[in-house]
Structure 1
């Protein structure tokens, strides 16, 4: 894991997810079924990358070990990898609209708000744009965005448990655990300090 750091994480994520998308389209075709499968698959890769960034700080506070140290050190790149994965997700949604002649997907204002958050968080992950915001505004943007995505993933995947329990139930459990960790970790740190 030591060799996979920084921008290499983003590059490998882009290549791996791109290969996954290409494989789905090769096997299932670039049609409605292929696009829907790509949407579901990229939602799951986005969730995993999101969770890595979401828990990095809390996990480091709760357990000091090489994994938590690596996650915290590479949190920015994991977040950018999440943005890459969700860009593939957007491409699949656009592809679905194209192959269904505009019949799908329906207008989704909450999804659009998610992409507004994603773009704003991605842009402000770089020094110069981040410098245009106060530290407080940057923290509010990123905290609100992360919680918005957490809620979106949790709600969407909870609704899909009945369709595929073995895929979506573990993801929902991880999402709930991640939020609990973010709530509990600062308290654990304060107890250890005192």
Structure 2
């Protein structure tokens, strides 16, 4: 019975159903909160809604960010499932994160929450990062992955840009709002990047190792020939 229940749960949180369910959940969350007058006409509350959306989206981003390296390290049934659904974790992240596309302009137009921040260069990196997120969603289909020459570069740059943006934001929160979840997120972001960099370094070492091993053999062969 328990196995059947877990199988049904995995069915609903796997594949294309995962981002679709999260898109519905994100829209319902925004609709319910925005329907309350004390939220709609309260600027700090609208910023709080943005914070809630960011917190949820970070979870799916981290799952997508570490799915492949975790599977390379542990190669267990859970990590294989993570790797298999990596794309859908990314789309679930986008379902929450891209609510910023309409919530940020609303917060600015209605309340001028961000002041002149929009007119400064500080908004350039967040704007580019959001644009990269949209491009990654658009090119997430198999056809784009097979036919688009710069697909890997786009998604790598996009993921690294998102990681950088999130880390900078939560590092600022360490001093401005030192809640426990802030320290947790900072630790998870640093650990996730360290895991990816460690595996990348290991791959480079493995590629160089055969060449280093074969060099003495070649030299020995030459000595035998000369003798």
- Distance in 1 (CA, whole Å) between partners of 2:137 and 2:126 is 16
Of Structure 1 and Structure 2, which has the larger fraction of its residues in helix? Answer: 2
Deviation at 1:186, TM superposition (A): 4.7
Q: Counterpart of 2:148 in 1: which secondary structure?
A: coil
Which has the bigger relative contact order, CA under 8 A and spacing at least 6?
1
Q: Does 1:111 align with 2:133?
A: no
TM-score, length of structure 2 as denominator length: 0.75
Q: Does 1:2 align with 2:10?
A: yes
Given candidates 16, 20, 37, the residue that maps to 2:29 is 20
- Distance in 1 (CA, whole Å) between partners of 2:108 and 2:164 is 25
Distance 1:167 1:27, change over 3 A: farther
8 Å contact kept, 1:24–1:34: no
Q: Does 1:176 align with 2:190?
A: yes
8 Å contact kept, 2:39–2:45: yes
Q: Which runs of structure 2 are paired with 1:70-149 in the superposition (5 Å)?
A: 70-100=81-111, 102=112, 104=114, 106-107=117-118, 108-134=123-149, 137-149=150-162
What is the CA deviation profile of residues 78-128 of structure 1, one whole-angstrom value per residue up to 9, with x for unaligned ones?
11111111111232212202321x463531111110112111111111133
TM-score, length of structure 1 as denominator length: 0.86
Q: What residue ranges of structure 1 are gaps of 5+ in the alignment?
A: none
Say what the alpha-carbon RMSD is for the aligned residues: 2.3
Q: Counterpart of 2:75 in 1: which secondary structure?
A: coil
- Distance in 2 (CA, whole Å) between partners of 1:185 and 1:67 is 19
Task: After superposing the two structures, state which structure 1 stretch, 12-21 or 70-79, moved more.
Answer: 12-21
Task: After superposing the two structures, state which structure 1 stretch, 68-77 or 157-166, moved more.
Answer: 157-166
8 Å contact kept, 1:53–1:76: yes
Task: Point out the structure with max Rg over C-alpha.
Answer: 2
1:158 maps to what in 2?
Answer: 171
8 Å contact kept, 2:60–2:89: yes
Q: What residue ranges of structure 2 are gaps of 5+ in the alignment?
A: 1-8, 211-227
What is the CA deviation profile of residues 31-52 of structure 1, one whole-angstrom value per residue up to 9, with x for unaligned ones?
3122101111111112111111
8 Å contact kept, 1:62–1:188: no
Deviation at 1:10, TM superposition (A): 0.5
What is the CA deviation profile of residues 23-72 of structure 1, one whole-angstrom value per residue up to 9, with x for unaligned ones?
44338411312210111111111211111110010000011122211111
